[in-house]
């Protein structure tokens, strides 16, 4: 291994995005990860742009806006978007009664109120906007390939680290993007898991995202990706069981078919379980320890992909400012 300036701990979407930003800025970067990117929580994320279960809104808004612009740029490149697995889709969020426009509405394109003919039965209000959809089985390998071109090394670890010390021994700057792992790595008791379960079916002709976050039947979403459509979901707080629950799968499909009846004829492809790394607020802050810099970037809840580029840009700026202040770098 080469001698890095910066070690990023965590190989999910947050860590890879931070690595990309820092390497693009000319820094020597390594990513240390106990699980390869395709086996992280990010790999099973439903992954469409939507600030879900994440605070504080005054910081989340700008991060989400920056990520929206980055994903829209990727999707808008006709040669790049399908390769990266990033698509701009019309999204419809539905409500049983009228609600105020959300704070994030000013960050999205094509925002408007739905007309009655667009709403599924039983809903009185809807919001329509354009949302990036990210096909994680395509997007994560695309990120990794980009890091390889930038000279970033991804270094497998035999097991999760229980201390930052090994990384601090090798680099002046360490970025902690370990998600739930930060409970043990840095003793953050404010982190907790929110279990999610999703289904996949063939996409067919479906092209519209539909979301019902607050309805009486439980959270529901239909997310058409490239070749498949992701159906969800559940939000079981402080539940870390990774076993599939058939009764939840049946309930998810029933709810989603109520939103989008066209799902009924689409072939089932599988199901997944993941744990969202939730916290009362995202931790993106820095600390100095014996003349070294640690930047923490975790606790993104159900919005890890939604905030990924925005948070990575702030991590890059914090690291660049610190290095330049210390050695004119």
Q: Is residue 190 part of a domain?
A: yes
Q: Is residue 129 part of a domain?
A: yes
Q: Is residue 161 part of a domain?
A: yes
**CA neighbor of 174 nearest in space, from 2, 1, 5, 3:** 5
Q: What is the CATH number of the domain that holds 64?
A: 3.30.9.10
Binding site residue list for FAD: 41-42, 178, 301-306
Structure token digits, residue 123: 């809903």
Amino acid 328: pLDDT? 63
Q: Is residue 1 part of a domain?
A: no
Torsion of CA 207, 210, 133, 204, to 10 degrees: -30
Domain span at 243: 6-327
Amino acid 216: pLDDT? 76
Query: Is residue 301 within 8 Å of 54, Cβ to Cβ?
Result: yes
- The stretches in the chain having pLDDT less than 70 are 1, 328-329
Number of structural domains (the chain) is 1
Q: What is the pLDDT of residues 40-90, one digit of tens each?
A: 999 999 999 999 888 898 999 999 999 999 999 999 998 888 899 999 999
Query: Is residue 133 within 8 Å of 89, Cβ to Cβ?
Result: yes
Binding site residue list for D-dopa: 221, 276, 302
Binding site residue list: 41-42, 178, 221, 276, 301-306
Q: Give residues with Cβ within 8 angstroms of 295, minimum separation 6.
A: 173, 174, 175, 176, 284, 285, 286, 315, 318, 319
Amino acid 82: pLDDT? 87
Q: Is residue 116 part of a domain?
A: yes
Q: Is residue 259 part of a domain?
A: yes
pTM: 0.95
Q: Is residue 213 part of a domain?
A: yes
């Amino acid at each position: 291994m080469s001698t890095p300036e910066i070690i990023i701990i965590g190989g999910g979407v947050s860590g890879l995005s931070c690595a990309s930003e820092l390497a693009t800025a000319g820094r020597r970067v390594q990513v240390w990860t106990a699980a390869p990117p395709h086996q992280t929580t990010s790999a099973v994320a439903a992954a469409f742009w939507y600030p879900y279960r994440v605070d504080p809104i005054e910081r989340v808004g700008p991060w989400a806006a920056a990520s929206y612009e980055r994903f829209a740029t990727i999707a808008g490149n006709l040669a790049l978007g399908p390769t990266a697995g990033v698509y701009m889709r019309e999204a419809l969020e539905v409500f049983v009664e009228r609600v105020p426009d959300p704070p994030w509405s000013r960050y999205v394109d094509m925002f408007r109120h739905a007309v009655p003919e667009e709403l599924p039965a039983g809903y009185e209000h809807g919001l329509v906007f354009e949302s990036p959809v990210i096909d994680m089985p395509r997007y994560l390998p695309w990120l990794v390939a980009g890091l390889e071109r930038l000279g970033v090394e991804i270094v497998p670890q035999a097991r999760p680290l229980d201390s930052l010390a090994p990384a601090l021994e090798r680099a002046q700057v360490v970025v902690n993007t370990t998600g739930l792992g930060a409970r043990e790595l840095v003793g953050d008791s404010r982190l907790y898991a929110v279990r999610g379960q999703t289904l996949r079916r063939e996409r067919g002709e479906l092209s519209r995202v539909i979301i019902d976050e607050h309805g009486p039947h439980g959270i529901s979403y239909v997310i058409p990706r490239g070749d498949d459509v992701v159906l969800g979901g559940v939000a079981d707080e402080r539940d870390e069981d990774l076993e599939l629950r058939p009764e939840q799968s049946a309930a998810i499909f029933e709810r989603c078919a109520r939103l989008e009846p066209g799902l009924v004829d689409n072939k089932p492809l599988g199901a997944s379980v993941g744990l969202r790394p939730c916290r009362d607020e995202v931790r993106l802050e820095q600390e100095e320890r014996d003349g070294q810099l640690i930047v923490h970037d975790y606790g993104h809840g159900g919005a890890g992909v939604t905030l990924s580029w925005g948070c990575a840009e702030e991590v890059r700026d914090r690291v660049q400012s610190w290095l330049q202040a210390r050695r004119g770098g």
